[in-house]
């Protein structure tokens, strides 16, 4: 099993990498970008961010990270897939071959339509936070089936928007694009880490450009 005292990583192939790193650092968790299989060593958890799922799937195979992530997950590494990351982690991708296939869910890709159909809303996920959480949906998938070992954390309008099993968390939206830190705190604790600082959900110092201060160092 992996050492739960380690850092969290964000898969750095394509997509919303820096935004996740910014949120993790805001909750006082050591975090780093992950580009190569060797960089999975010592991590307690890995975020597979949103982006373009077909592109990410090809890059995973090209850099042989698909096999490395599966092996690390078998060894205790926790995973969180957001939007495209949820598609990659799903065991079933309607109309397409699955990528990593690590959690027993079925997803429908681009279920909300085009980029122009993106939207934001507030949700209630009591297992994650008691107060409403703002989230952003960008060309989001829908989780249309959850297996027997999967816990539904959020259901909206007849589809599943967040779910987990003992190893993996999936969300079809982007918590990293809002000032809310609740899901990042939830994932850190799922990984056996205790976030530092005040246990607040909203960071008043956050702006949509906050991640840029880390982009040259990550």
Catalytic (active-site) positions: 83, 174, 176
Angle at 138 between CA 159 and CA 23, to 5 degrees: 100
In DSSP notation, 52-74 reads -HHHHHHHHHHTTHHHHHHHHHH
Please tell me the distance from the alpha carbon of residue 31 to that of residue 11, in angstroms, as a whole number: 11
Pair 188, 6: CB distance under 8 Å: no
- Burial classification of residue 148, based on how many CB atoms lie within 10 Å of its CB (0-12 exposed, 13-18 middle, 19 or more buried): exposed
Please tell me the distance from the alpha carbon of residue 14 to that of residue 7, in angstroms, as a whole number: 20
Count other Cβ atoms within 10 Å, centred on residue 206. Answer: 16
């Amino acid at each position: 099993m992996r050492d739960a005292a380690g850092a969290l990583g964000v898969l750095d192939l394509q997509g919303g990498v820096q935004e996740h790193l910014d949120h993790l650092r805001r909750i006082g968790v050591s975090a780093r970008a992950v580009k190569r299989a060797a960089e999975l060593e010592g991590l307690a958890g890995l975020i597979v961010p949103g982006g373009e799922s077909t592109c990410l799937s090809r890059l995973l195979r090209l850099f042989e990270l698909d096999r490395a992530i599966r092996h690390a997950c078998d060894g205790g590494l926790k995973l969180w897939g957001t939007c495209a990351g949820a598609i990659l982690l799903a065991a079933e991708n309607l109309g397409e071959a699955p990528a990593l296939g690590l959690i027993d869910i079925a997803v429908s890709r681009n279920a909300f339509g085009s980029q122009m159909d993106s939207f934001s809303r507030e949700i209630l996920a009591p297992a994650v936070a008691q107060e409403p959480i703002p989230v952003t949906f960008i060309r989001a998938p829908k989780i249309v089936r959850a297996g027997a070992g999967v816990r539904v954390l959020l259901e909206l309008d007849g589809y599943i928007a967040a779910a987990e099993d003992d190893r993996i968390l999936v969300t079809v939206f982007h918590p990293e694009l809002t000032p809310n830190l609740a899901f990042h705190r939830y994932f850190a604790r799922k990984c056996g880490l205790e976030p530092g600082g005040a246990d607040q959900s909203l960071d008043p110092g956050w702006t949509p450009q906050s991640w840029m201060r880390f982009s040259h160092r990550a």
